[in-house]
């Protein structure tokens, strides 16, 4: 049984403050470096920047989409369920996501991102779980 009045010194705890100070110093240096590039960033055209926001791409029947798959993400459904989605970029540099099961499983097979993909949709098909949009996903 441990004695409540005994004080125990733990090795390594004394450097916690030093590490925190060093981290803050490093963060400040990075921030100052970024501030130096602010003029260059401000001069950049918005179209060449990567978007951090995305709309949900509603894929429709009998349509072909030529897009870039830029990886995977997650999103919350209207029921609050977290689902996987593909991050997609169109020719106008607009970012979308889509969580269709066929698309997600296809994009997860890609070896590298970004990658060009072509989505070719067909008609809606009935299954035991309801209707789904038939599609084929291709890459080079």
Q: What is the mean pLDDT of the chain?
A: 84
Asked if residues 135 and 121 have their Cβ atoms less than 8 Å apart, the reply is yes
**Longest Cα separation, the chain:** 76
Rounded distance between C-alpha atoms, residue 116 and residue 64, angstroms: 13
What's the average model confidence in pLDDT over 18-46?
A: 78
Residue carrying structure tokens 């070719």: 120
Give the tokens for residue 116. 């060009």
Rounded distance between C-alpha atoms, residue 62 and residue 65, angstroms: 10
pLDDT tens digits, one per residue of 78-88:
899 999 999 99
Rounded distance between C-alpha atoms, residue 113 and residue 71, angstroms: 6
Helix or strand holding residue 36 (H, E):
helix 16-36
Domain 47-139 classified CATH 3.30.70?
no
More reliable by pLDDT, 46 or 61: 61
pLDDT (0 to 100) of residue 18:
54
Q: What ranges do the domains of the chain cover? A: 15-43, 47-139
Q: How far is CA 91 from the centre of its chain?
A: 19
């Amino acid at each position: 049984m441990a004695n409540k009045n005994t004080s125990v010194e733990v090795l390594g705890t004394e450097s916690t403050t030093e590490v925190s100070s060093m981290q803050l110093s490093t963060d400040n240096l990075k921030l100052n470096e970024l501030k130096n590039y602010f003029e260059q960033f401000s001069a950049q055209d918005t179209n060449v920047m990567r978007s951090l926001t995305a709309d949900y791409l509603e894929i429709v029947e009998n349509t072909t989409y030529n897009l870039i798959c830029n990886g995977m993400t997650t999103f919350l459904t209207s029921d609050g369920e977290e689902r996987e989605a593909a991050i997609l970029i169109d020719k106008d540099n607009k970012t979308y996501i889509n969580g269709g099961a066929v698309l997600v499983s296809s994009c997860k097979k890609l070896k590298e991102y970004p990658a060009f993909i072509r989505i070719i949709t067909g008609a809606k098909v009935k299954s035991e779980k309801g209707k789904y949009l038939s599609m084929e996903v291709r890459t080079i």
